[in-house]
């Protein structure tokens, strides 16, 4: 893949060079130069026009060669990709994967549009006819107003956070304090901390102290260390080098992500769109699955297991949601029938391994 990336960067560099040195600008410059010569010496029209014709031809030929070089690079790059990725993706597709699951699929796609704020598209998808979706869906469905209103509120609060306005998010977090605490969320404290830092950075020391006295005592049992560091900021308010880790711009992205996660959690939805996660995981798994399918086809074998994949798929950390335990004795993954068991010494092995080891012992 490194060679593909390098080739792509070369092509992109050539294209940017052409965009920077616009061919039309070069032709206009040649024409303007001839125009100025004729204006200065009208008797040189014939000579200037002859020179102009040659100049235009030279520039045009140069432009043509540059674009030929770019087009040649694109053609070679396209052929290299086609040669590298020759697998037939249809071999890994299960045509019956969504049998009797049309309603789940419809809701997943519609909710994906809703989560993006595309309510009209979500409504249109939910109302779509069976012929349009090629699925046996019921027509006439609409997005419930309750879900619509909740997502509108979430988008409004996120828009405010992007503008570094924390008031709507703070109001929402304080109204849902009990539900957030049941989920061990630190959102409200993070929001108050960021608001306090805003006052400190604005050199509003008195307002920062009053704000901390009003809100931080409630969190001191759980966040005493963080509160101590925040309060110490006031002693170094004129030293920009101190406590830089508390002023990183990434904290705004973290707060936005944390708010989205907790908001969706309270209304019973995952932080990320299930459709987005499914497509991402499928994209990561596709090369391995396609290779495995070709091997099975060549060996004329089929995978008979229904609840697991024929090969291990390495996924990125953000697409892993369940921990996997592999028994150090049997080297097999734990299952519901063979769960992990902790011994008195603190070691953990699978139940079947524990039973085998304990046979014949008192």
pLDDT tens for 163-177 read 999 999 999 999 999
- Evaluate if residue 311 carries a pLDDT over 50: yes
Task: Provide the pLDDT for residue 116.
Answer: 74
Rounded (10°) angle between helices 250-266 and 167-175: 40
Distance (Å, rounded) from C-alpha 115 to C-alpha 234? 40
Q: What is the mean pLDDT of residues 239-268?
A: 77
Task: Provide the pLDDT for residue 130.
Answer: 44
Q: What is the mean pLDDT of residues 19-34?
A: 74
Burial 181-208 (b: 16+ CB within 10 A, else e): eeeebbbbbbbbbbbbbbbbeeeeeeeb
With 0-12 CB in 10 A as exposed, 13-18 as middle and 19+ as buried, what is 52?
Answer: middle
Name the nearest CA neighbour of 229 among 202, 193, 195: 193
Task: Provide the pLDDT for residue 295.
Answer: 77
Name the nearest CA neighbour of 100 among 136, 141, 138, 142: 136
Lowest mean pLDDT among 106-120, 154-168, 265-279: 106-120
Task: Provide the pLDDT for residue 305.
Answer: 56
Contact predicate 200/298, CB 8 Å: no
What count of other Cβ atoms lies within 10 Å of the Cβ of residue 133?
15
pLDDT tens for 91-147 read 677 777 777 877 777 777 877 887 777 777 776 766 653 433 433 333 334 456 666
pLDDT tens for 319-358 read 776 677 888 888 888 888 899 998 888 889 999 999 888 8
Task: Provide the pLDDT for residue 216.
Answer: 93
Distance (Å, rounded) from C-alpha 348 to C-alpha 343? 6
Show the tokens assigned to 170.
Answer: 């703070």
**DSSP letters for 301-338:** -----SSS-SS-----GGG--S---B-TTT--B--SSS
pLDDT tens for 178-199 read 999 988 899 999 999 999 988 8
Task: Provide the pLDDT for residue 132.
Answer: 36
Task: Provide the pLDDT for residue 187.
Answer: 93
**Residue with more model confidence, 294 or 308:** 294
pLDDT mean across residues, the chain: 78
Distance (Å, rounded) from C-alpha 69 to C-alpha 107? 49
Task: Provide the pLDDT for residue 134.
Answer: 37
**HSE-CB of 261 using CA atoms within 13 angstroms:** 12
Predicted TM-score (pTM) of the model is: 0.55
- Evaluate if residue 23 carries a pLDDT over 70: no
Task: Provide the pLDDT for residue 241.
Answer: 57
Angle at CA 320, nearest 5°, toward 315 and 324? 100
Task: Provide the pLDDT for residue 189.
Answer: 94
């Amino acid at each position: 893949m490194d060679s593909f990336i390098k080739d792509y960067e070369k092509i992109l560099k050539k294209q940017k060079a052409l965009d920077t040195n616009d061919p039309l600008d070069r032709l206009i410059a040649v024409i303007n130069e001839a125009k100025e010569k004729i204006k200065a010496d009208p008797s040189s029209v014939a000579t200037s026009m002859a020179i102009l014709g040659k100049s235009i031809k030279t520039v045009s030929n140069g432009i043509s060669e540059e674009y030929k070089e770019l087009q040649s690079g694109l053609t070679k790059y396209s052929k290299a990709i086609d040669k590298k990725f020759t697998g037939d993706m249809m071999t890994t597709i299960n045509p019956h994967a969504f049998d009797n699951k049309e309603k789940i699929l419809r809701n997943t796609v519609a909710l994906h549009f809703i989560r993006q704020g595309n309510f009209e598209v979500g409504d249109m998808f939910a109302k779509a006819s069976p012929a349009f979706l090629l699925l046996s869906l019921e027509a006439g469905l609409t997005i419930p107003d309750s879900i619509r209103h909740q997502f509108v509120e979430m988008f409004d609060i996120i828009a405010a956070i992007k503008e570094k306005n924390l008031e709507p998010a703070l109001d929402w977090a304080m109204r849902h304090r009990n539900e957030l605490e049941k989920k061990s969320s630190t959102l409200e404290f993070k929001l108050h901390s960021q608001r306090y830092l805003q006052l400190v950075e604005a050199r509003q020391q008195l307002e920062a102290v009053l704000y901390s006295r009003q809100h931080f005592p409630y969190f001191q049992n759980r966040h005493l260390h963080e509160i101590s560091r925040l309060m110490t900021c006031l002693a170094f308010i004129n030293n920009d080098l101190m406590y830089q880790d508390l002023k990183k711009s990434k904290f705004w992205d973290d707060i936005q992500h944390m708010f989205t996660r907790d908001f969706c959690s309270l209304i019973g939805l995952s932080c990320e769109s299930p459709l987005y996660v499914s497509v991402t995981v499928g994209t990561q798994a596709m090369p391995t699955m396609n290779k495995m399918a070709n091997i099975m086809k060549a060996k004329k074998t089929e995978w008979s297991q229904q609840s697991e994949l024929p090969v291990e798929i390495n996924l990125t950390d953000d697409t892993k949601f369940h921990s996997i335990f592999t028994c150090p004795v049997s080297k097999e993954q734990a299952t519901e029938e063979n769960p992990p068991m902790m011994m008195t010494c603190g070691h953990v092995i699978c139940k079947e391994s524990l039973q085998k080891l304990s046979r014949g012992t008192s």
